[in-house]
Structure 1
Amino acid sequence: MKNEMTQTPLLQIDALEKRFALDHGFLETVKLRKGRIRREKREVHAVNGLTLDIKRGEALCIVGESGCGKSTVARLVAGLLNPSNGSITYDGKRIDTLTRREMLPYRRKMQMIFQNPYASLNPRMTIEQALTEPVKHHHPDLSAQGVRDKVVEVMRSVGVDPAWAPRYPHEFSGGQRQRIAIARALTVDPEFIIADEPISALDVSIQAQVLNLMLEAQVERGLTYLFITHDLSVVQHFGTRVAVLYLGTLCELSDTATLFANPKHPYTRALLSAVPKLDDQAPNHIRLRGEIPTPIDMPQGCPFRSRCTYANDRCAVERPVPAPQPDGSLVACHAVEEDRIETV
């Protein structure tokens, strides 16, 4: 039964795109090119044709360097941004076209934990007020005592003393604030958590505590995670599967063990080679050279072409699409497809 639930897609992302306009208004779009006046609209291509599915009970980690579109994907799934193209389906229902009122039932099922615990809590609200507000909003039938009991139960579950409830956020450390932010997400009994780099702003000594807390909550509450991070050591500890993004496109999608044992895409290999290892047999660090493309002027062909040592003429004109591999992973790379890269 557990394996059957694990294989059921809870969230499906299909051909998702998000573009942000850089020029607003008519005058900003008017440009002088070679003595002629033209109208041009510049856009940032943050997410480009991303297709993913997230199974019930798993923790799908999205990794990549800064600016690759990780946080944009999180905000699109959470409904904080509207996609430019593509679709997002939750439990068989398309949600990216819903109105704010129609989206309300899904707000209870889907909760988000933000990166900065110092900014995600209202400084004018006590911890009790911050935790009580979502319970009252999503459970209007609960009595005042029922709301208090729910808040106390959730605070204890994340290791926060209920006696701290009258205090304000500035009276807590970063780790304590993030525990409170996790408690706020859990107060409405969600089934899906979107965590956007939830530990990157914390001290290293606190990061493991918060990660373990999230893992415990996953087991106890049957949670499904979309976990955004740039820290591959965290992915190895936390993730069930890993999606590697580059310039808003999917490079590789694999279960965690397979990805770390046998990375296939050149960009994935470069990322993993940068992880410190206490092993003399570890591969040498791969230095990426070449020009870093800009999401404003997306390159033709493979987005990673300008930094890839395996690129050829085909990579310059044809964008690779994710293709299944014998070990079950998906890789978007012409060199892998043509067996020009040696794999294990």
Structure 2
Amino acid sequence: MTASAAHVALASHEHESEHQDQATRTLLEIRGLEKRFDLSGDFLEQLKFRRGRLVREQSHVHAINGVDLDIHRGEALCVVGESGCGKSTVARTVMGLLRPSAGEIHYDGERIDHLESKALLPFRKRMQMIFQNPYASLNPRMTIQQTLEEPIRLHQPGWNREQIREKVAEVMTSVGIAPDWGVRYGHEFSGGQRQRIAIARALAVDPEFIVADEPISALDVSIQAQVLNLLMEAQRERHLTYLFITHDLSVVEHFGTRVAVMYLGRVCEVATTRTLFAHPRHPYTQALMSAIPKLEDDRPQHIRLQGEVPTPVNLPSGCVFHARCPHVSERCRREIPRLIATSDGGQVACHAVEEGRIS
């Protein structure tokens, strides 16, 4: 073998090893994910008279519009954005609580978005969810013991009563709840205690991936740090991977490994937490970062966005942010930007960044 051939073979082997390593690291892949909610009602409600003619009109809420995301093993990927941007819809679609209108979801190399309930059951054990409202996520007619036993009985049908009780006691202790509280009902606990119970329920089946949909936003500020630290401790001890939905950037800075910024159902930017806070690239991300209160006198001036937020019922053409962007061009109005790789290992969907008009 010649030196050049050996060099080509070595480069090819390195590229293949890198691709395999990336595939091994990636736990969840989301490709071209879309979700639309029908506003039209039944067939008769869709029929309208327009200029003397009977026509059928359909309208939809375009909640997610072509989302691409990779979630790596052991990380906490935070998804941020303003209310209505599609964060929670992504979370619920990933968990199978909503059926996607288009796109694919792959978990550990297997496609799961098209599976029926029975086929999805083995993945339910590996994937768990913590909901936003601890006052609504617990069944008021079940004791805490019954609440925590239910998922174990479903996913471990061969366990006897003693094994189930031991597992419930173990997870209750791990989240700072006394096992003898199991005889009580959810309404007897505070919001922070209820959310600890919800976390214990998610951990009861020993999952490897947890979707947390704004799990601390409904709690008092004094309790939020405790619950957040509990989630971080569980991640270290159980080697968990998180998809963490939040609108609180201070939580992201404390908790997240990487951050995905969404606007009107699309991903604008993906970067490591440190990179995003130090050097945001997308104009929308820059506006978000500038809104964080800081004590420094020399911080950049707060960016005030102009215009109104478009409605997800009638999406704008091209880039969904173009009506409020200070760097808009004609291309932005016509063409939807794709996520492109950046020099610091992130991704950004912006024509102005791609063309070098902004750094």
TM-score of the aligned structures, taking structure 1 as reference length: 0.96
Higher mean displacement: 184-193 or 282-291: 282-291
Q: Provide the rounded CA distance (Å) in 2 between the counterparts of 1:188 and 1:124.
A: 22
Q: CA deviation at 1:137?
A: 1.1
Gaps of 5+ in 1: none
TM-score of the aligned structures, taking structure 2 as reference length: 0.92
Deviations 1:276-325 (A, max 9, x none): 11222222221111121111011101100111111111111111111111
Given candidates 46, 54, 62, the residue that maps to 1:29 is: 46
Correspondences of 1:8-47 after superposition (within 5 Å): 8-47=25-64
Deviations 1:18-59 (A, max 9, x none): 001001212221233344332111011000010111000000
Which residue number corresponds to residue 77 of structure 1? Answer: 94
Letter aligned with residue 326 of structure 1: S
Given candidates 53, 62, 65, the residue that maps to 2:82 is: 65
Q: Provide the rounded CA distance (Å) in 1 between the counterparts of 2:218 and 2:52.
A: 49
Q: Percent same amino acid at aligned positions?
A: 66
Letter aligned with residue 85 of structure 2: C
Which residue number corresponds to residue 268 of structure 2? Answer: 251
Letter aligned with residue 289 of structure 1: Q
- Other structure's SS at 2:68 match: strand
Does 2:322 align with 1:321?
no
Q: Provide the rounded CA distance (Å) in 2 between the counterparts of 1:190 and 1:307.
A: 41
Q: Provide the rounded CA distance (Å) in 1 between the counterparts of 2:281 and 2:175.
A: 38
Which residue number corresponds to residue 241 of structure 1? Answer: 258
Which residue number corresponds to residue 311 of structure 1? Answer: 328
Which residue number corresponds to residue 187 of structure 1? Answer: 204
Q: CA deviation at 1:73?
A: 0.2
Given candidates 200, 214, 235, the residue that maps to 2:231 is: 214
Q: Provide the rounded CA distance (Å) in 1 between the counterparts of 2:68 and 2:105.
A: 9
Q: CA deviation at 1:168?
A: 0.6
Which residue number corresponds to residue 260 of structure 1? Answer: 277
Q: Provide the rounded CA distance (Å) in 2 between the counterparts of 1:154 and 1:177.
A: 14
CA contact (8 A) 1:10 1:56 kept: yes
Does 2:288 align with 1:297?
no
Does 2:96 align with 1:55?
no
CA contact (8 A) 1:46 1:69 kept: yes
Which residue number corresponds to residue 16 of structure 2? Answer: none
> Measured at CA, do residues 244 and 115 of structure 1 come closer, stay the same or move farther in structure 2, by a change above 3 Å?
same
CA contact (8 A) 1:5 1:56 kept: no
- Other structure's SS at 1:49 match: strand
Q: Provide the rounded CA distance (Å) in 2 between the counterparts of 1:5 and 1:162.
A: 41
Deviations 1:128-177 (A, max 9, x none): 11001111111111111111000000000000111211111111110000
Which residue number corresponds to residue 152 of structure 2? Answer: 135
Q: CA deviation at 1:122?
A: 0.4
- Other structure's SS at 2:65 match: strand
Deviations 1:178-225 (A, max 9, x none): 000000000000000000000000011111110100000000001000
Displaced runs of 4 or more, over 6 A:
4-7
Letter aligned with residue 255 of structure 2: F
Does 2:213 align with 1:196?
yes
Does 2:124 align with 1:107?
yes
Q: Provide the rounded CA distance (Å) in 1 between the counterparts of 2:300 and 2:147.
A: 48
Which residue number corresponds to residue 152 of structure 1? Answer: 169
- Other structure's SS at 2:183 match: coil
- Other structure's SS at 1:234 match: helix
Deviations 1:62-106 (A, max 9, x none): 000000000000000000000000000000110011110000011
Gaps of 5+ in 2: 1-20
Which residue number corresponds to residue 225 of structure 1? Answer: 242
Higher mean displacement: 94-103 or 5-14: 5-14
CA contact (8 A) 1:241 1:254 kept: yes
Q: Provide the rounded CA distance (Å) in 1 between the counterparts of 2:125 and 2:232.
A: 20
CA contact (8 A) 1:6 1:56 kept: no
Q: Provide the rounded CA distance (Å) in 2 between the counterparts of 1:171 and 1:79.
A: 31
- Other structure's SS at 2:125 match: helix
Q: Provide the rounded CA distance (Å) in 2 between the counterparts of 1:41 and 1:124.
A: 41
